[in-house]
Chains A and B, each alone.
Chain A
Amino acid sequence: MLLIHCPYCQEDRPELEFRHAGEAHIARPADMAALSDEDFERFFFIRSNPKGVVFERWRHMHGCARFFNAARDTVSDRFLKTYKAGEPKPDLGGEGR
Chain B
Amino acid sequence: MQQPFRLADVGRLGAAAPVNFTFDGKPFTGLTGDTLASALLANGVHLVGRSFKYHRPRGIVSAGAEEPNALVGIHRDAARKTPNVRATVQEVHAGLEAVSQNRWPSLAFDVGALNDAASPFFSAGFYYKTFMWPKAAWERLYEPFIRRAAGLGVAPDQPDPDVYANRFAHCDVLVIGAGAAGLAAALAAADTGARVILADEQAETGGALRFETGAAIDGRPGWDWAKAVTADLAARDNVRLLTRTTGFGYYAQNIVGLVERLTDHLAKPAPEQPRERLWQVRAKRVVLATGAIERHMVFAGNDRPGIMLASAARTYLNHFGVAVGRNVAVYTADDSAWLAALDLKRAGVGIAAIVDARSEIRGAHVEEARRLGIECLEGHAVTATAGRLRVSSIQVRPLAGGAGRVIPCDALITSSGWTPAVHLFSQSRGKLAFEAETQRFLPGTSAQDVDCVGACGGSIDLAQTIEQALEAGTRADGAQGRRATIVKDVRGEVWSGGMLGTAETGTGVKAFVDFQNDVTAKDIRQAVREGMRSIEHVKRFTTTGMATDQGKTSNMHGLAIAAEMLGKPIPEVGLTTFRAPYTPVTFGALAGHSRGALFEPVRRTPIHSWAQEKGAAFEDVGQWKRAWYFPEAGEDMHAAVARECRTVRESAGIFDASTLGKIEVVGPDAARFMELMYTNPWAKLGVGRCRYGVMLREDGFIYDDGVVGRIAEDRFHVTTTTGGAPRVLNHMEDYLQTEFPDLRVFLTSTSEQWAVIAVQGPRSRDIIAPLVDGIDLSDAAMPHMSVREGTVCGVPARLFRMSFTGERGFEINVPADYGRTVWEAVWAEGEKRGACAYGTETMHVLRAEKGFIIVGQETDGTVTPQDAGLIWAIGKNKADFVGMRGLRRADLVAPGRKQLVGLRTKDPNTVLDEGAQIVADPHQAVPMTMLGHVTSSYWSENCGHSIALALVAGGHDRMGETLYVPMPGGAIAVEVASTVFFDEKGERANG
Contact = CB atoms under 8 A, between A and B. Distances in A.
Nearest to B739: A28
B378 interface: no
B134 to A, nearest CB: 37
B984 to A, nearest CB: 36
Contacts of A81: none
Nearest to A69: B738
A67 to B, nearest CB: 5
Contact of B251 (A1, A21, A44): A1
B741 A33 contact: no
A80 interface: no
Max chain A Cβ within 10 angstroms of own Cβ: one of B252, B734, B738:
B738
A3 to B, nearest CB: 5
Interface string B737-769: 111010000000000000000000000000000
B252 A67 contact: no
Contacts of A27: 739
B699 A44 contact: yes
Contacts of B730: 19, 59, 61
A9 interface: no
Interface in A17-46: 19, 21, 27-28, 32-33, 35, 37, 40, 44
Contact of A35 (B280, B733, B885): B885
A66 B886 contact: no
Contacts of B251: 1
Contacts of B280: 1
B324 to A, nearest CB: 44
A2 B252 contact: yes
B8 interface: no
A48 interface: no
Contact of A32 (B252, B699, B880): B880
Max chain A Cβ within 10 angstroms of own Cβ: one of B253, B733, B734:
B253
A21 B741 contact: no
A45 to B, nearest CB: 9
A32 B884 contact: yes
Nearest to A29: B885
B270 interface: no
B17 interface: no
Nearest to B737: A67
A35 B447 CA distance: 45
B457 to A, nearest CB: 22
Given A1-B255, A57-B738, A76 B699 contact: no
A77 B252 CA distance: 7
Contacts of B253: 1-3
Interface string A1-18: 111000000000000000
A67 B879 contact: no
A86 interface: yes
Interface string B440-478: 000000010000000000000000000000000000000
A20 to B, nearest CB: 12
Contacts of A59: 730, 733-734
Nearest to B699: A44
Contacts of A40: 885-886, 889
A1 B253 CA distance: 7
B429 interface: yes
Nearest to A15: B252
Contacts of A57: 738
Interface residues of B, number: 24
A35 B734 CA distance: 21
A10 to B, nearest CB: 18
B255 to A, nearest CB: 5
B698 interface: yes
A57 B730 CA distance: 13
Contacts of B880: 32-33
Given A59-B730, A66-B737, A67-B738, A33 B255 contact: no
Contacts of A66: 737
Contact of A85 (B698, B738, B889): B738
B598 interface: no
A44 B737 contact: no
A92 interface: no
Contacts of B698: 28, 44
B1 interface: no
Nearest to A40: B885
Interface in A42-91: 44, 57, 59, 61, 65-67, 76-78, 85-86
Interface residues of A, number: 24
Contacts of A44: 698-699, 886
Given A1-B280, A35-B885, A65-B733, A86 B879 contact: no
B890 interface: yes
Contacts of B737: 66-67, 85
A86 B253 CA distance: 28
Contacts of A37: 889-890
B675 to A, nearest CB: 13
Contacts of B255: 1
B734 A21 contact: yes
Contacts of A78: 252
Nearest to B880: A32
B252 A1 contact: yes
A27 B739 CA distance: 7
Contacts of A19: 730
A53 B733 CA distance: 26
B741 A76 contact: no
Interface string B209-240: 00000000000000000000000000000000
A40 B883 CA distance: 11
A78 B428 CA distance: 12
Interface string B185-210: 00000000000000000000000000
Max chain B Cβ within 10 angstroms of own Cβ: one of A21, A67, A77:
A67
B429 A76 contact: yes
Contacts of A33: 879-880, 884-885
A76 B448 CA distance: 10
Given A37-B889, A44-B698, A76-B447, A86 B884 contact: no
Contacts of B889: 37, 40
Nearest to A39: B885
A59 B255 CA distance: 22
A57 B735 CA distance: 13
B283 to A, nearest CB: 12
A35 B884 CA distance: 11
Contacts of A86: 738, 741
Contacts of B733: 59, 65, 67
A3 B733 CA distance: 23
A85 B741 contact: yes
Contacts of B886: 40, 44
A28 B886 CA distance: 12
A78 B884 CA distance: 38
A16 to B, nearest CB: 11
Contacts of B885: 32-33, 35, 40
Given A1-B255, A33-B885, A44-B886, A67 B734 contact: yes
A57 B698 CA distance: 17
Interface in B20-54: none
Interface of A: 1-3, 19, 21, 27-28, 32-33, 35, 37, 40, 44, 57, 59, 61, 65-67, 76-78, 85-86
Given A33-B880, A37-B889, 11 more contacts: A1-B280, A33-B879, A44-B886, A57-B738, A61-B730, A65-B733, A67-B738, A76-B447, A77-B429, A78-B252, A85-B738
Interface of B: 251-253, 255, 280, 282, 429, 447, 698-699, 730, 733-734, 737-739, 741, 879-880, 884-886, 889-890
11 contacts: A3-B253, A28-B739, A32-B884, A33-B879, A33-B884, A40-B889, A44-B698, A61-B730, A65-B733, A76-B447, A85-B738
